[in-house]
Amino acid sequence: MNSNTPCTLSKYTALVLNQGIQNHAETTNDASRSMLNVITKALSSYSFPDIRHSDIQGVITTWQVEGKSNKTISNYLAPMRKIFKTATQDGVFEINPMEGIQNPKQTKENTYAQARKNIDPYSVPEISQIESAQTPCTSGQVMTLLEIRSGLRPEEGVCAHWEAIDWDAGTYTVSIVKPKSEYRCAKTTNGHRKIELDSTTMTMLRTHYQCTGHLEVITISVVGRDNRTREEVTITPMFIRAKTGQPYKNPKDFLQAYLTPLLKDWSIRERGVTQCRKTYACHALSAGVPIKWLADKLGHADTLTLERHYAKWIPKDGDIKPTEMIEQRLDKNHRLQMQSQSVASVPVYKRLFQRIKAVFAK
């Protein structure tokens, strides 16, 4: 090793981070940056070239004492291995201090149990409240209901566009996502999919089309799966913010600008933005849809995630068409179409039609 070459921790953390920026998605890099900050803090009291195997063990023990889960610690160790492997190859260490360091044990059952705790679906009465709510932002309302009734991911919902709808077939093609500031192609080949929509959802979207279907098209730059190539795509946004007339920036923006205020105003227990998709999965499984059909619709590679995380919602398969099963459950006893025809209880797609009709009548 050249004696004039600096061999500091910051050099190697920067190297790992920069490699990630060139090769990984924006959200992945944000997580990596956070983990590298934790690693830097943990190793800050050591002279980097003098770090030994026992020091690494001590850091892991400290994290455990602080209450960090074994899964979190394992996540920290991944970039640490990259740091020390590169430094060892540079000649900073004769023996890699990470050699022999193993991830703390984490049982699959604990992992699945934690995942199950994070599933908190909306009940049918709560969905009725969301649908009948008086709100100035119909886009936010329709987007919430679309995710609940179709299982779209939040990052798929915020960049939903009218060009992806096939009105005759009653389908929506998922090809673009926006997890943060960049538009990206669907992360996996399974994520790039065509989903079938039930008749109630199609009726709702046909009405909403009169609100945003004729907006000016926008040209977006979509990052490819290799995280390097880009493709220019022209789309017509399906959902926009009421105040700005612009599409939601990302799922967090949607949560803060619309969903959380809506839940507070209507005294519905607050949930994260991902619970709309999880609501669809829970109700679909409870309705008895074939689990393979649902896994494909949600963009999963197989049925394992549903079987492990949603086990308590899985009954025996039924014989009714999957979309009809879900529609019957969500519209059970016409709860989504409130009996009273007052303005406060007319379904959102009917209210939209009434508003549009009133505008054109002037």
Dihedral (CA of 240, 182, 130, 337) sign: positive
pLDDT value of residue 172? 98
Which residues of the chain are in CATH 1.10.443.10 domains? 116-361
Structure tokens at 249: 């920036």
Query: Phi-psi category of 91—alpha, beta or left, where left has phi over 0 and alpha has psi -120 to 50?
Result: left
pTM: 0.73
Residues contacting 334, CB < 8 A, separation 6+: none
Q: Which architecture does CATH list for 116-361?
A: Orthogonal Bundle (1.10)
Which residues of the chain are in CATH 1.10.150.130 domains? 9-106
The answer to whether residues 153 and 277 touch, using CB atoms and an 8 Å cutoff, is: yes
In this predicted model, what pLDDT tens digit does every residue of 66-97 receive, in sequence order?
999 888 999 999 999 999 999 999 999 999 99
Neighbours of 290 (CB within 10 A): 15
Dihedral (CA of 221, 223, 224, 230) sign: positive
CATH class of 9-106: mainly alpha
pLDDT value of residue 226? 87
User: Which residue is listed with tokens 């077939």?
Assistant: 169
In this predicted model, what pLDDT tens digit does every residue of 291-329 receive, in sequence order?
999 999 999 999 988 988 887 887 654 556 677 767 766
Residues of the chain under the 50 pLDDT cut? 1-5, 317, 333-345, 356-362
Residue 330 exposure: Cα atoms within 13 Å on the Cβ side: 30
